[in-house]
Amino acid sequence: MVVATIKCVVVGDGAVGKTCLLISYTTNKFPSEYVPTVFDNYAVTVMIGDEPYTLGLFDTAGQEDYDRLRPLSYPQTDVFLVCFSVTSPASFENVREKWFPEVHHHCPGVPCLIVGTQTDLRDDPAVREKLAKQKMQPVRKEDGDRMAKELGAVKYVECSALTQYKLKDVFDEVCCLSTDEVPLRR
C-alpha cells in the first residue's frame, strides 16, 4: 500500500519556537534547551478518514546565514507554516517583510498558515515588562488575524508548544488544507 505524503515546511525568524513546535507535536515532549537548526525533518503518521498519511514536517533555519540554503527545502511543499513569537513584535513584522515574500517568490500559490507561537508567554509579567521598556506589547490574536487577511494567508492560528495549547489544531489545519478532511488521531 502506498501512503500519501503531506509536505509541510516551517519558516520564521530564529528562536521563535519552530523546532519546539515540531518536537512537541511529534514526541509530546518539550525540548529543554535551544539548539539552532540548520535543516531537519520529522515525520508522523496521521489517519485522515480511513487513509493513513505521512505528515512530513520540514524545519528550517531562520538565521540570515541560511537565506540561500533554506529555499532548497521548498519544492513540492503542500503547506507552509509561517511562524513568529507572540512575544516578539519584530518576528511578527518579519512575517510581512521577509517570510511571506520569500515563500511566495519560491512557491506561488502554495497555502500558508501564519502561526503565532509561545502563547504561554503572552501574559508572563517578565515578558510584558521587558517589552514595555521598549514601548512594545505582545502581539494580539486580532493582529495575527488582520495580517493573515492582508497577506492572503489561509488563516492565523496560535499555540504553545510548552503547554500544547491548540498545538494539534495547527497540524489539523495542515491536514485539512492538503486533503479537505480533519485527521482522526495522531
Q: What's the confidence (pLDDT) of residue 10?
A: 97
Residue of 19, 84, 83, 101 whose CA lies nearest to 57: 19
Give the H or E element holding residue 129.
helix 125-133
DSSP bridge partners of 45: 54
* One-letter amino acid for residue 156 of the chain: Y
Question: What are the sequence ranges of the domains in the chain?
Answer: 4-185
- Give CATH superfamily name and number for 4-185: P-loop containing nucleotide triphosphate hydrolases (3.40.50.300)
Q: What's the confidence (pLDDT) of residue 50?
A: 85
Query: What cell does 113 get?
Result: 498558515
Residue 97: exposed, middle, or buried by beta-carbon count in 10 A (0-12, 13-18, 19+)?
A: exposed
Q: What's the confidence (pLDDT) of residue 182?
A: 64
How many CB atoms within 10 Å of residue 79?
22
DSSP 82: E
pLDDT digits (tens, 9 = 90+) for 144-164: 999 999 999 999 999 999 999
CA angle 144, 149, 151 (to 5 degrees): 95
Lowest mean pLDDT among 12-21, 32-41, 51-60, 160-169: 32-41
Grouping H, G, I as helix, E, B as strand and the rest as coil, residue 38 is: coil
Q: What's the confidence (pLDDT) of residue 186?
A: 44
Lowest mean pLDDT among 92-106, 151-165, 168-182: 168-182
pTM (predicted TM-score)? 0.94
Residue of 179, 186, 170 whose CA lies nearest to 82: 170
Sheet holding 112-117, edge to edge: 155-158, 112-117, 79-85, 4-12, 51-60, 39-48, 183-185
Q: Decide: 99 and 82 in contact? Cβ < 8 Å.
A: yes
pLDDT digits (tens, 9 = 90+) for 59-72: 998 888 888 889 99
